[in-house]
Amino acid sequence: MSVIDSIMAGLALVGNVEAIVSLAIGIVIGVIGGAIPGISATMAVALTLPFTFPMQPINGILLLLGVYKGGIFGGSIPAILIKTPGTPASSATVLDGHPMAARGEAGRALGMALWASCTADLISNLALILFAGWLASFALSFGPPEFFALILFSLTIIAGVSGESLLRGALAALLGLLLATIGLDLVYGTNRFTFGDPNLMGGLNFIAVLIGLFAIPEVINMVWNPTGHIGKVQALGGKWVTFAEYKRCFRSIVRGSFIGVFLGAIPGIGAAPAAFLSYSEARRKSPNKANFGKGEIEGVAASEAGNNGVAGATLIPLLALGVPGDVITAIIIGAFMVHGLQPGPMMFVMNVDIIYGLFIGLIFSSGLLLIVGGLAIRGFKPVADIPKRILMPIVLVLCIYGVFAVNNNIFDVGVMFVMGWVGFVMSRYHIPAAPFLIAFILGPLLEDNFRKSMLMSGGSPDVLLRGPITWFFWALTLIAVLAIARGTLDKARDKG
């Protein structure tokens, strides 16, 4: 199929009202979810996932991608208006966004956040379209040893999402790997931790685990401390961002977008570091560097460009290699699986129409984000005023219906409840949930490819180093491990 044919096939899939409406609804849900502190883009994607089951695969995935992109921008609204980032990615936006809001320029800050987000989103989507196909064609020559080396390298993602302690992140990942072994053995079909229960033979349901881990702990946290409240909402003010200001910040926006694209394409780094790096680069290069931290509009533009630049780029490893770029794309993998699609190089051969449909939909998403975001800025106050003690029971009921709907199985609801308590205990012990989820997804792939490699070679480990591709990934893994070890030692030395 030529590129033109592929584009036409993609257009045939998304060139209809249903697809565009799915994307727009996704962006609305994302912006609202991201704008409510305590919901976050991650939880919004997890909660929306079950609603995609009856949809066409392309529409369902576009809906989730809309939630993802809307959620990243939505997080900037409470960051600016109430000094509470809706998502971790918006932490850098607080630095200049809230001081602007405090002096009555919230509308100006939010307007710049929106424009910077849309510009960065567009650049990120173009990077995805340019690089994903190329990477996938390269990955078509991968066999089990190459995939094993790649997934092993991808597990170094865990260092990026471990937060304050690498060891706690590693512990979470090991727990995820352990729970992923539940079910029938991949090669011999023997029981592993199934206790003779047929419900466990297929392993723990991925959606039940992820919703249990990301949504239910928020409900339990609210039960533990129901009076945790959000801050005072600032007024928008009369001033709005001008085109001249956008032009002045354009260099920082483009620079931040490329930083986001670069960091987003590397699995595990995520949006928050990209936002901070983009912010610090903008401050370093800006003639107004003294104003940064006191309400400089360029600071808002740079941090929002950094975090939104990540949103398209994290889909590069997802679509091309089948490896999630961050936690949200790990959840989106679940949507692909539910719809019978396996992201990775083969998808560029078997489902090229869906790939191009997604590309076209993503280009539309930047424009839709501009429209929806503009409306959301004006409508934020009622969203912020939803009482949390009404919101969390709604989340609980949504989770029950959503998890049941995956397999029509009440057992999955029980798994979700148990995982909710596991997630709550993990949060009390400051064990990050993201490494758990990533290891839970990658664990079976890692084991499967390892054992296939061993079967191919009759048990000889030499097969794991059989050619330049495996050497390349082993070298990357080594470099990543050394960088992580060095970073950990430096941190320990700084503290000591």
Partner 1 sequence: MNKRAIQVQLGIGACVVCVFLILYAIPYWISAPSNMRNIVLSPRFWPYAIAGLTGLVGVGMLFANRKANADDAPVNDPIQDPRAGLIRLAGMAVLMAVTFWLLPRIGMVWATMLAFASLAFLVKTRHPKTALICALAVPLLLYVFFAHVAGVAIPQGEFVRLP
| CA geometry: angle 357, 359, 361, nearest 5 deg | 65
Please give the backbone phi and psi of residue 314, each rounded to the nearest 5 degrees, phi first: -65, -15
Among 24, 38, 41, 51, binds partner 1 (CB under 8 A): 51
| Residue 428 contacts partner 1 per CB under 8 A | yes
Structure-token pair, residue 125: 């989507």
| Residue 168 contacts partner 1 per CB under 8 A | yes
Give the span between the Cα atoms of 107 and 380, in whole angstroms.
Answer: 11
Helical (H) or strand (E) element with 183 = strand 183-184
Among 188, 232, 238, 462, binds partner 1 (CB under 8 A): 188
| Residue 187 contacts partner 1 per CB under 8 A | yes
Considering only residues 437 to 466 of the shown chain, the ones binding partner 1 according to CB under 8 A are: 447, 450-451, 454-455, 458-459, 461
| Residue 177 contacts partner 1 per CB under 8 A | yes
| CA geometry: angle 211, 128, 6, nearest 5 deg | 105
Q: What share of the chain is helix, strand, coil (3-state, %, to 5)?
A: 75, 0, 25
**Shortest Cβ distance from residue 70 to partner 1 (Å)?**
21
Give the span between the Cα atoms of 86 and 71, in whole angstroms.
Answer: 8
**Shortest Cβ distance from residue 174 to partner 1 (Å)?**
5
Residue 387: exposed, middle, or buried by beta-carbon count in 10 A (0-12, 13-18, 19+)?
exposed
| Residue 478 contacts partner 1 per CB under 8 A | no
**Shortest Cβ distance from residue 339 to partner 1 (Å)?**
13
Question: Mutual orientation of helices 243-265 and 271-285 as an angle, nearest 10°?
Answer: 130
Contact status, residue 414 vs residue 209, Cβ threshold 8 Å: no
| Residue 149 contacts partner 1 per CB under 8 A | no
**Shortest Cβ distance from residue 260 to partner 1 (Å)?**
31
Among 18, 193, 371, 475, binds partner 1 (CB under 8 A): 193
**Shortest Cβ distance from residue 322 to partner 1 (Å)?**
20
Residues 6+ apart with CB under 8 A from 372: 24, 27, 28, 31, 70
User: Site size for partner 1, by CB under 8 A?
Assistant: 63
The one-letter code for the residue type at 277 is: L
Site mask for partner 1 (CB under 8 A), range 378-417, x = bound: ---------x-xx-xxx-xxx-xx--xx--x-x--xx--x
**Shortest Cβ distance from residue 80 to partner 1 (Å)?**
23
Tell how strand 191-192 and strand 183-184 pair up. Answer: antiparallel
Contact status, residue 350 vs residue 340, Cβ threshold 8 Å: no
**Shortest Cβ distance from residue 440 to partner 1 (Å)?**
12
Return the number of other C-beta atoms located less than 10 Å from residue 300's C-beta: 35
Of residues 268, 228, 184, the one with CA closest to residue 438: 268
| Residue 185 contacts partner 1 per CB under 8 A | yes
**Shortest Cβ distance from residue 397 to partner 1 (Å)?**
5
Contact status, residue 318 vs residue 333, Cβ threshold 8 Å: yes
The region of 102-110, 166-174, 303-311, 345-353 touching partner 1 under the rule CB under 8 A is 166-174
| Residue 222 contacts partner 1 per CB under 8 A | yes
User: Closest CB to partner 1 among 5 and 197?
Assistant: 197
Give the span between the Cα atoms of 142 and 385, in whole angstroms.
Answer: 51
User: Closest CB to partner 1 among 332 and 392?
Assistant: 392
Give the span between the Cα atoms of 381 and 377, in whole angstroms.
Answer: 9
Among 236, 368, 431, 469, binds partner 1 (CB under 8 A): 431
Among 2, 4, 195, 243, binds partner 1 (CB under 8 A): 195
The region of 14-22, 28-36, 61-69, 191-199 touching partner 1 under the rule CB under 8 A is 191-199
| Residue 174 contacts partner 1 per CB under 8 A | yes
| Residue 28 contacts partner 1 per CB under 8 A | no
| Residue 231 contacts partner 1 per CB under 8 A | no
Among 227, 243, 247, 494, binds partner 1 (CB under 8 A): 227
Structure-token pair, residue 38: 């305590």
Among 198, 225, 232, 238, binds partner 1 (CB under 8 A): 225
Residues 6+ apart with CB under 8 A from 117: 72, 73, 76, 304, 305, 307, 308, 369, 373
DSSP β-bridge partners for residue 124: none
Structure-token pair, residue 466: 């059989």
**Shortest Cβ distance from residue 16 to partner 1 (Å)?**
18
DSSP β-bridge partners for residue 183: 192
Residue with tokens 């991925």: 206
Report helix, strand or coil for 288.
coil
**Shortest Cβ distance from residue 361 to partner 1 (Å)?**
22
Structure-token pair, residue 222: 């609210």
User: Closest CB to partner 1 among 3 and 455?
Assistant: 455
Considering only residues 61 to 90 of the shown chain, the ones binding partner 1 according to CB under 8 A are: none
| Residue 190 contacts partner 1 per CB under 8 A | yes
The residues that touch partner 1, with contacts defined as CB under 8 A, are: 51, 53-54, 167-168, 170-171, 174, 177-178, 181, 185, 187-188, 190-193, 195, 219-220, 222-228, 387, 389-390, 392-394, 396-398, 400-401, 404-405, 408, 410, 413-414, 417, 420-421, 428-431, 447, 450-451, 454-455, 458-459, 461, 492, 495-496
